[in-house]
Structure 1
Amino acid sequence: MFKHAKESQITITELMLPSHSNFSGKIHGGHILNLMDQIAFACASKHSRHYCVTASVNKVDFLNPIEVGELVTLKASVNYTGRTSMVIGLRIESENIQTGEVKHCNSSYFTMVAKGEDGKNVPVPGLILDTEQSVRRFARSIKRQEQARKRSNIFKASEFKIDEHIDFIKTQNAKIEL
């Protein structure tokens, strides 16, 4: 079975309240991460028609601060489907209600896994790629997974070669005392 990404896309908008702020008066990153996890869950569950869990989050960069009183809009879409997993692309924007200024605050990728009632992974519907953008997002997800595997292997304790890294580390803000 295959489904279009648009069938499970979700958008939510929430007003940022003083209770969501940190000590500097900006919206707390943890609150935004919580909203991101919720919408990724909703999008993945809608696509798979199963309960889903977060397996990983790829790169969360907070690009612009979010102010109390702004509207935050989170958009989620399925970018990639594996056998039991999905990569959900997220885009977060804030809007100043008084000026209408919209800021891109964050983009991120959540890998979600579908679970059956027994708690075991279950297959998910594939993705119908019907635009150049959908093909690009699918291909980018595959590349990102390959790069993550390669990175994990290079720094695995059994594979790590200290001599390849020590000179570079000496140029950093660290003191090596071996």
Structure 2
Amino acid sequence: MQAKTCKESRTIKASLILPHDTNMHGTIFGGTVMSHIDEVSAIAAMRHCRRPVVTASIDSVDFLAPAKLGYSVCLEAFVTHTGRTSMEVFVKIVSEDLTTGDRQLTATSFITFVALDGNGRPTPVPQIVPETEEEKYLFETAPARQQMRKERRNHTQDFYDQIDITKNI
């Protein structure tokens, strides 16, 4: 299987922040941003592997600055690292005041997807070849994020082992 560059998976989505997208502060709902993130990152993952994918984890969504009513949000996603069947996707969200042109980094996110074969089973994906400085940095720092995901899963499993789901809610 031939390796692919990050740019081959790069996906960009822009949206205008309308009244139904905002909270009582006049800024975009976090859940709306997360929905955009899941969509654009899934497209990037599918572009990389040319297979259906499922979300394995959303490692982080870090909200850095508010995006206001009337602004645009532009999401850029691309595959930063791959395992045997998994892909880490980085998403960068930039908001823009369309009347002034001022832009700011609004949020970032890392999401992991698993590629599926025709039977819904995990299937191998192409390796990734980073080219730009940003891509190389994200590629080189991916193993540390992978280790954090593994540790979080272990802690979460310990937590789940303590939950009694037989109780009525």
Provide the TM-score with structure 1 as the length reference: 0.82
Instruction: Give the match for residue 46 of structure 2.
Output: 45
Distance 1:155 1:105, change over 3 A: same
Whose radius of gyration is greater, 1 or 2? 1
Question: Aligned-pair distance for 1:148?
Answer: 3.1
Letter matched to residue 79 of structure 1: T
Matched, 1:137 2:134: no
**C-alpha separation in 2, matches of 1:121 and 1:157:** 25
Deviations 1:43-86 (A, max 9, x none): 00000000111111112111111111101000001100111100
- Higher mean C-alpha deviation, range 22-31 or range 41-50: 22-31
Matched, 1:34 2:35: yes
Instruction: Give the match for residue 105 of structure 2.
Output: 104
**C-alpha separation in 2, matches of 1:66 and 1:107:** 13
Letter matched to residue 62 of structure 1: F
Root mean square deviation, CA, Å: 1.8
Q: Percent identity?
A: 35
Equivalence map 1:1-178=2 (5 Å): 1-153=2-154, 157=158
Number of residue pairs matched? 158
**SS of residue in 2 equivalent to 1:105:** strand
Deviations 1:62-113 (A, max 9, x none): 1111111101000001100111100001100000011111010011101011
Provide the TM-score with structure 2 as the length reference: 0.86
**C-alpha separation in 2, matches of 1:145 and 1:5:** 18
